[in-house]
Amino acid sequence: DQQVKQNSPSLSVQEGRISILNCDYTNSMFDYFLWYKKYPAEGPTFLISISSIKDKNEDGRFTVFLNKSAKHLSLHIVPSQPGDSAVYFCAASDVSNQFYFGTGTSLTVIP
């Protein structure tokens, strides 16, 4: 059963606007969340993370919000750029040392 879900397989946004990618999880024991970005034919690269003791983490154009009560996190990219076009994976981890990945959201930023 999928413990981390990304319900939007794709998203298109105009350049300069905000991109919002969503992720839901079911396991309340997850204590760390990450976003990875993946270009075709390359491995995922780490983008931003957040610990469960926080509700927001910001790094330049990227902000991750965590709502523990709703078991929901989101990634905001503002302003969106064409180079942001990629597949974004949400991931969660617990004390088991494993990562649990969502199915990914393909973001297209239209120039």
Partner 1 sequence: DVKVTQSSRYLVKRTGEKVFLECVQDMDHENMFWYRQDPGLGLRLIYFSYDVKMKEKGDIPEGYSVSREKKERFSLILESASTNQTSMYLCASKENTEAFFGQGTRLTVV
**Class of residue 89 by CB neighbours under 10 A (exposed 0-12, middle 13-18, buried 19+):** buried
Binding span for partner 1 by CB under 8 A among 18-26, 46-54, 64-72, 78-86: 46-54
Residues 60-79 that bind partner 1 (CB under 8 A): none
Q: Is 99 in the site for partner 1 (CB under 8 A)?
A: yes
Q: Is 43 in the site for partner 1 (CB under 8 A)?
A: yes
Q: Is 46 in the site for partner 1 (CB under 8 A)?
A: yes
Q: Is 19 in the site for partner 1 (CB under 8 A)?
A: no
Place of tokens 């991750």: 64
CB 92, CB 32: distance < 8 Å: yes
Which pair of structure tokens corresponds to residue 2? 């999928």
